[in-house]
Structure 1
Amino acid sequence: MIPLPQGTVLFDDADAVARAAADHLRALCASAPHGRIAVCLSGGSTPRRLYTALAGAEYADLPWSRLHWFFGDDRAVAAEDDLSNVRMAREALGPASAIPAGQFHPIPMADGPHAAAGRYEAALKAFYGAETLDPARPLFDLVLLGLGEDGHVASLFPGQPALEETTAWVVAVPEAGMTPFVPRVSLTFPALASARSVLLLVSGPGKRDPLARLAAGEDLPAARVRGPVRWFVDRAAADV
Structure 2
Amino acid sequence: MGKPPNLFAFQGLDDLAPSLRAYILDAQKSALDRHHVFRVALSGGSLPKVLARALLDEKNGEGVIQYDKWEIFFADERAVPLDHEDSNYRLVKQEILDKIPQQLGKPTVYSIDVKYLDDVQEMADQYEKTLVSVFAARDSVKLPMFDLLLLGCGPDGHTCSLFPGSPLLRELDAWVLSISDSPKPPPKRITLSLPVTQHGIKIAFIATGGGKKDIMKEIFDTEEGQQLPCGLINSAAQERVSWFVDHPAIEGVSFPSRRGSL
TM-score by length of 1: 0.87
Tell me which residue corresponds to 2:260: none
Give, in whole Å, the separation in 2 of the partners of 1:147 and 1:85: 15
Q: 1:65: which partner in 2?
A: 68
| Secondary structure at 2:108 match in 1 | coil
* Equivalence for 1:164: 170
Tell me which moved more, 106-115 or 206-215. 106-115
Seen in structure 2, the aligned counterparts of structure 1 residues 133 and 15 have a Cα distance that, compared at 3 Å, is farther
**Residue 125 (structure 2) pairs with residue 118 (structure 1):** yes
Aligned with residue 216 of structure 1, among 192, 217, 222: 222
Query: 1:229 is matched with which residue?
Result: 241
CA contact (8 A) 2:48 2:91 kept: no
Establish whether residue 96 from structure 1 lines up as the match of residue 100 from structure 2: yes
Deviating more after overlay: 6-15 vs 114-123 = 6-15
**Distance of 1:232 and 1:47 partners within structure 2:** 14
Q: Percent identity?
A: 30
What secondary structure sits across from 1:23 in the alignment?
Answer: helix
Equivalence map 1:4-153=2 (5 Å): 6-34=5-33, 35-58=36-59, 61-93=64-96, 94-98=98-102, 103-112=108-117, 113-129=120-136, 130-133=139-142, 139-153=145-159
TM-superposed deviation, 1:52: 4.3
SS in 1 for 2:115: coil
Give 3-state SS (helix, strand or coil) of 1:140's partner: coil
Q: 1:60 to 1:231 in 2, by over 3 A?
A: closer
The one-letter amino acid of 1:235's match is H
Instruction: Give the superposition deviation at 1:239.
Output: 1.5
Per-residue displacement from partner, 1:150-174 (whole Å, max 9, x unpaired)? 1101000011111111000000011
State which drifts further: 105-114 or 184-193: 105-114
Unaligned 5+ runs, structure 2: 253-262
* Comparing 103-112 and 159-168, the one that deviates more: 103-112
Cα deviation for residue 101 of structure 1 reads 7.0
* Higher-helix-fraction structure: 2
Q: 1:131 deviation in Å?
A: 4.4
C-alpha distance in 2, partners of 1:18/1:114? 37
Contact kept, 8 Å, 1:47 with 1:201, in 2: the verdict is no
Instruction: Tell me the amino acid that sits aligned with residue 75 of structure 1.
Output: R
* Counterparts in 2 of 1:54 and 1:193: CA distance versus 1, 3 Å: same
Whether the aligned pair in 1 keeps the contact of 2:74 and 2:111 (CA below 8 Å) is: yes
Within the candidate set 190, 195, 215, 2:195 is matched to: 190
Q: CA deviation at 1:69?
A: 0.6
> One-letter code of the match for 2:145?
L
Distance 1:121 1:200 in 2: 23
SS of alignment partner, residue 152 of structure 1: coil
Root mean square deviation of aligned Cα: 2.2
Change (3 A) 1:61 1:170: same
Q: What SS does structure 2 have at the residue aligned with 1:231?
A: strand
Q: CA deviation at 1:205?
A: 1.0
- Alignment correspondent of 1:204: 209
Cα deviation per residue 1:67-104 (whole Å; 9 max; x = unaligned)? 11111001111110111110010111124255867711
Bigger mean CA offset, 53-62 vs 212-221: 53-62
Distance change >3 Å, CA 237–CA 184, structure 1 → 2? same
2: distance between equivalents of 1:234 and 1:13? 5
